[in-house]
Amino acid sequence: MIKFLDLQKINLAHQQEIEERILKTFRSGWYLLGEEVKNFEQNLSKFIGSKNVIGVANGLDALRLIFRAYIEMGVMQRGDEVIVPANTYIASILAISDNGLKPVLVEPDIATYNIDIEKIEEKITSKTRAILIVHLYGRAVWSEKLTDLAKKYNLKIVEDNAQAIGSTCNKRRTGNLGDAAGFSFYPGKNLGALGDGGAVATNDDELAKVVRTLANYGSSQKYVFDYIGYNSRLDEIQAAVLDVKLKYIDDENAKRRNIAKRYIAEIKNPKIILPQMPENEQEHVFHLFVVRTEKRDEFQNYLTENGVQTVIHYPIPPHKQACYREWNNLSFPITEKIHKEVLSLPMSPVMTGDEVNRVIGIVNLWK
């Protein structure tokens, strides 16, 4: 069986370093808000070029905290609207709703699976305060049109960078393109912890301060509470592991890109629509290699029978979920088509050349 993602192998590639750092943290007797988190925050901040990084408990919290902080700062208020791609992972949308803000869904571009920037302006109202862009599947989304819209309507651009750590757009890393960004270190992400983890990045010092305070019960000073806050912290052990893996992220992303290039060049089955490599290859870190076909379920069964594990990202669009019942009758044809047709092939920095050959051969033989 060719695994969709072999997490054990991914982490064993750094076994010695990870074990040493975990042991060091274990023996230190200090497990929260210590040197490891501080150190990782600084290194991630250098890596993406952003002034402030705050380690938090997970990617959903990172985004929730950004919107909550903007509310506390008076930049937005409950009931305001935030534009978000209709085909994103549900967490992007949950972060908006959880703050009493209204998600306004915009269709994606079928060629990139990212938000269709051309369709944003028609959704902007007097209540719109932000655009939450999502660099979905690892592909960066950015353009001058987006920044022009933000300027014209005085909107914040928040990035959901959960899937795209390391990708670069106009020589700037994703997560340092907009006003603030949320990162996820869920184990399967390109930079994955051994459990949950997340981070907020921003060049806005005030926002950073409010996020840090909110994430620590709303307290900026021990036993003094400025906000009704949360407990959302990155553990010392997870920070230590992430700090080891951060050193290798560019190499590992390059390996993913090379596998993607092979898939794109060598999968010749006319029934399969392949993802496009952006003109600037650095804009894609192939968190997922997502193909599309009309008979998706048949294709997935065929691959399973032939020993290739695949996953659907994602089978049900957010507007068709029970948790957003009020949207169930809305129509987003491109989003719905994507959810019906996509399938993610095995992709990871530890896939062997032989495994890639086998996937390509099996996909090409599908009739």
Ligand X SMILES: Cc1ncc(COP(=O)(O)O)c(C=O)c1O
DSSP letter for 350, please. T
One of 50, 92, 282, 293 touching ligand X (CB under 6 A): 92
Rounded to whole angstroms, how far apart are CA atoms 320 and 314?
12
**Span of 3-11, 158-166, 237-245, 347-355 interacting with ligand X by CB under 6 A:** 158-166
**Span of 84-92, 296-304, 335-343, 352-360 interacting with ligand X by CB under 6 A:** 84-92
Rounded to whole angstroms, how far apart are CA atoms 89 and 317?
8
Cβ nearer to ligand X, comparing 60 with 356: 60
Query: Counting contacts by CB under 6 A, is residue 347 touching ligand X?
Result: no
Q: How far is the CB of 294 from ligand X (least distance, A)?
A: 25
Query: Counting contacts by CB under 6 A, is residue 159 touching ligand X?
Result: no
Work out the burial of residue 4: count CB atoms within 10 Å of its CB; fewer than 13 is exposed, 13-18 middle, 19 or more buried. middle
Please report, to the nearest 10 degrees, the dihedral formed by the alpha carbons of residues 317, 320, 321, 323 taken in order. 120
Q: How far is the CB of 113 from ligand X (least distance, A)?
A: 11
Cβ nearer to ligand X, comparing 314 with 327: 314
Work out the burial of residue 331: count CB atoms within 10 Å of its CB; fewer than 13 is exposed, 13-18 middle, 19 or more buried. exposed
Cβ nearer to ligand X, comparing 186 with 324: 186
One of 198, 229, 317, 318 touching ligand X (CB under 6 A): 198
One of 82, 117, 162, 237 touching ligand X (CB under 6 A): 162
Residues 6+ apart with CB under 8 A from 223: none
Rounded to whole angstroms, how far apart are CA atoms 62 and 278?
28
Rounded to whole angstroms, how far apart are CA atoms 287 and 72?
33
Cβ nearer to ligand X, comparing 318 with 346: 318
Apex CA 67: angle with CA 63 and CA 245, to 5°?
Answer: 25
One of 52, 163, 202, 335 touching ligand X (CB under 6 A): 163
Rounded to whole angstroms, how far apart are CA atoms 72 and 81?
16
Cβ nearer to ligand X, comparing 52 with 92: 92
Cβ nearer to ligand X, comparing 188 with 358: 188
One of 5, 60, 237, 246 touching ligand X (CB under 6 A): 60
DSSP letter for 216, please. B
Rounded to whole angstroms, how far apart are CA atoms 320 and 147?
30
Q: How far is the CB of 189 from ligand X (least distance, A)?
A: 7
Which positions touch ligand X (CB under 6 A)? 58-60, 88-89, 91-92, 134, 160, 162-163, 184, 186, 196, 198
